[in-house]
Structure 1
Amino acid sequence: MRTTLNNYLLPNLGSDNSSRLNLHQWIQSNRFSSVELVGNCWHLEAYSESELYATFTPDFQRFAFSSFETFSLAGLEVEKCSSTGWPLLKLYYSAFFAAHALTRATGNGHVNLNSKAVKAVNDYIAILGGDDVLSSGSYKVSIREKYSGVFLILEPSSEGSGVHDTFWRYFSAYLDAIATEAVDDALPSASSFVRETSALKSCINEKSNSGVWFSAIRNAINYRHEFDCWLPNDKKSKPRNLNFSSQLGDTDTMEASLNERQDELIRLINLSTYLASLNHQLILRVQGSVGGNADFSRKWRRLNAIMAPK
């Protein structure tokens, strides 16, 4: 999967030349030259193509690094405390952060626009005498290149129930879209990429009676304390005997693990490990691209040193 994804990474992702503005700050700073409402989507034309691309780096970095940290902590808690409840939730969050990192790395994302960003857009519209009003809330964001320039697209998002269910629905649609793009671009790896994204999407969603499976299993463990995950539990209970791998792997050899459907906890572990591993591969790809002296690489080395077993 990572080979195909490399074709869609933003230019200069993680580079020191990247703007220090994140996406919200870019909007708040009025770094757009026009605003147009097309259907239900807002099109913000960028003054600078490279500056817009660069605004995705700060969020990519924080999500990518937090995914690695969270995955590492899950393994440490199992090893040191024989705990299972919190490690399972940490595995889930490592995947949640990883999926956010992946979307940002390719110039996409699911964001909640704050009041300052909304005000900046509406003030711009008002100055020009427009009547349209951008509302606060959840948006699907993407970069679109047109003949006249490069635009940030904001599309209202109302699918799902709750932050996590909504995000995984968005991420599943994102996987479909990027797989279709790989086919349209006639990439040599397109057929395997379609198979891999389909397996990932199915593992996230299948066999749930209450929304997205991945979000539902998190709720079952976190809020209803199901699956006997929390201490003190019986030493012979299934969670106490789960095989928690603290090792990130190569996603090219992990696709079969996404087919697990019989045991929900193993499925959670496999899915989380897959996404966290994909995130790790993405970090290494960016590190190799920007060089060892880049701020991204220095922070990555510091994080590795902090999380290394003592």
Structure 2
Amino acid sequence: MTPEIKIIHQLAVNEIFEITSTTESDLKAWVVNGQYLMSKKLVPAAKNRATSFELDFKHSDILHASLANDCNRFAQAAIESMWSVGKVDKLPKSTGWAAVQMYYSAFFAAHAILRIYGRACTQLEPNHVNKVFEIASATQFDDGVSSIESGFYFSLISNGEIKFKKLKESHADTWSSFSTLLTWLIDNISSTTGLGLHKSDAITFLSEIKAIIHSSGAAKGNWLSQIRNKVNYQHSHGVWFPYKFALHNNEAVLRNAEWLKEPKSFDLGVSHNDISKLYSVSNTILSLMYQLMKYGYERSGKVSVPLTNGTFRLVNQIQVA
């Protein structure tokens, strides 16, 4: 394990690697279970409905288990998406679906990484937010608000509280949340334990990821999403038959096991064509996710039931095959 991964991991929520229970609870289920109180009164937004709320929890075990289960689920999807990349029979230059799969691998990996650091982007349905509103009303923390809006929410655990704030776009705002996490990591690496050189290398590495996801004016850090949309809906970049104007090496971008290497193995130079750059950054993000999870899992004595039965069972199956 590289020193940079060990440094970046120091800022993680270690409890999610120490889950020994078999609960299948996820963050949505935790919200519905209602094992919390309001830490602040609701604030009305449009139509007198709240779009944010803050919860105070005394018992963190189930919440951490819920985050661990979500993290495991996204990690499995990220790995399987990348592993599914490969040549299409009789269409050796076809990379259209491979590009989409690489994107989703990075997208799912970003979700998993967020949860490693106590953050999440989650779709909350009416039954989820109605439970929060029920508790707010029962404890007189509704403050005249008529309801809480359902939708896509960002959440952050901090000092015995979990704060939820409604977002707008599931993909763009997930990448924005991931970019914000990268900034937070960069800003807080100075507080970790390690050699100054290794801290500097970790900051440089994270800064390179942040820079590339903001390529071409992607203000929310959703450059990968923009490329996915062009490939999927405009059939651009020569990834579909007859492959006109393709600038990438199709043999190179169809390799599906490169993420097992260290995260810094990939060239994040901005001079690459878009598809090659998509390949490099998606593998980098997936590798970062895997190495952070692997280090956290091993550091905790491999006690995590979700990760033992999920992500690392999947990885073992892939490597044996």
TM-score tier after normalising by the smaller chain length: 0.7 to 0.9
User: What are the superposed Cα offsets for residues 118-162 of structure 1, whole Å, 9 maximum, x if unpaired?
Assistant: 0100111122233234221222211111xxxx111112324xxx4
Counterpart check, 1:276 vs 2:305? no
Counterpart check, 1:299 vs 2:310? yes
Deviation at 1:276, TM superposition (A): 1.2
Question: Identity rate of aligned residues, in percent?
Answer: 22
Name the residue aligned to 1:194.
Answer: 203
Name the residue aligned to 1:67.
Answer: 78
Evaluate the alpha carbon distance shift between residue 125 and residue 210 of structure 1 in structure 2; reply closer, same or farther with a 3 A threshold: closer
Equivalent runs, 1:25-64 vs 2, <5 Å: 25-37=29-41, 41-64=52-75
> Among 112, 115, 118, which residue is 1:101 paired with?
112
TM-score between the two structures when normalised by the length of structure 2 = 0.82
Deviation at 1:286, TM superposition (A): 3.8
User: What are the superposed Cα offsets for residues 23-55 of structure 1, whole Å, 9 maximum, x if unpaired?
Assistant: 111110101033424777522011302332222
> Among 150, 154, 166, which residue is 1:140 paired with?
154
Evaluate the alpha carbon distance shift between residue 110 and residue 223 of structure 1 in structure 2; reply closer, same or farther with a 3 A threshold: same
Evaluate the alpha carbon distance shift between residue 120 and residue 250 of structure 1 in structure 2; reply closer, same or farther with a 3 A threshold: same
- Say if 1:92 and 1:268, in contact at 8 Å, map to a contact too: yes
Higher relative contact order (CA 8 A, sep 6+): 2
C-alpha separation in 2, matches of 1:186 and 1:308: 33
Name the residue aligned to 2:212.
Answer: 203
C-alpha separation in 1, matches of 2:194 and 2:97: 41
Name the residue aligned to 1:167.
Answer: 174
Counterpart check, 1:220 vs 2:227? no
User: SS state of the match for residue 62, structure 2?
Assistant: helix
User: SS state of the match for residue 16, structure 1?
Assistant: coil
Equivalent runs, 1:106-121 vs 2, <5 Å: 106-121=117-132
C-alpha separation in 2, matches of 1:283 and 1:80: 37
Deviation at 1:268, TM superposition (A): 0.6
C-alpha separation in 2, matches of 1:285 and 1:209: 31
User: SS state of the match for residue 36, structure 1?
Assistant: coil
Deviation at 1:222, TM superposition (A): 0.5
- Say if 1:13 and 1:57, in contact at 8 Å, map to a contact too: yes
Of the structure 1 ranges 298-307 and 80-89, higher mean CA displacement relative to structure 2 is found in 298-307
Of the structure 1 ranges 42-51 and 297-306, higher mean CA displacement relative to structure 2 is found in 297-306
- Say if 1:292 and 1:298, in contact at 8 Å, map to a contact too: no
Counterpart check, 1:180 vs 2:180? no
Structure 2 residues without counterparts, runs of 5 or longer: 44-50
| Count of matched residue positions in the alignment of Structure 1 and Structure 2 | 299
Structure 1 residues without counterparts, runs of 5 or longer: none
User: SS state of the match for residue 102, structure 1?
Assistant: helix
User: What are the superposed Cα offsets for residues 61-107 of structure 1, whole Å, 9 maximum, x if unpaired?
Assistant: 00111111111111x34688523110111111111111100001111
Deviation at 1:287, TM superposition (A): 3.6
TM-score between the two structures when normalised by the length of structure 1 = 0.85
C-alpha separation in 1, matches of 2:219 and 2:304: 47
> Among 3, 22, 27, which residue is 1:23 paired with?
27
C-alpha separation in 2, matches of 1:41 and 1:111: 13
- Say if 1:23 and 1:55, in contact at 8 Å, map to a contact too: yes
- Say if 1:32 and 1:46, in contact at 8 Å, map to a contact too: yes
Evaluate the alpha carbon distance shift between residue 210 and residue 56 of structure 1 in structure 2; reply closer, same or farther with a 3 A threshold: closer
User: SS state of the match for residue 243, structure 1?
Assistant: helix
Evaluate the alpha carbon distance shift between residue 295 and residue 26 of structure 1 in structure 2; reply closer, same or farther with a 3 A threshold: closer
Deviation at 1:199, TM superposition (A): 0.9
Equivalent runs, 1:243-282 vs 2, <5 Å: 243-244=252-253, 245-246=255-256, 247-248=258-259, 249-254=261-266, 257-282=267-292
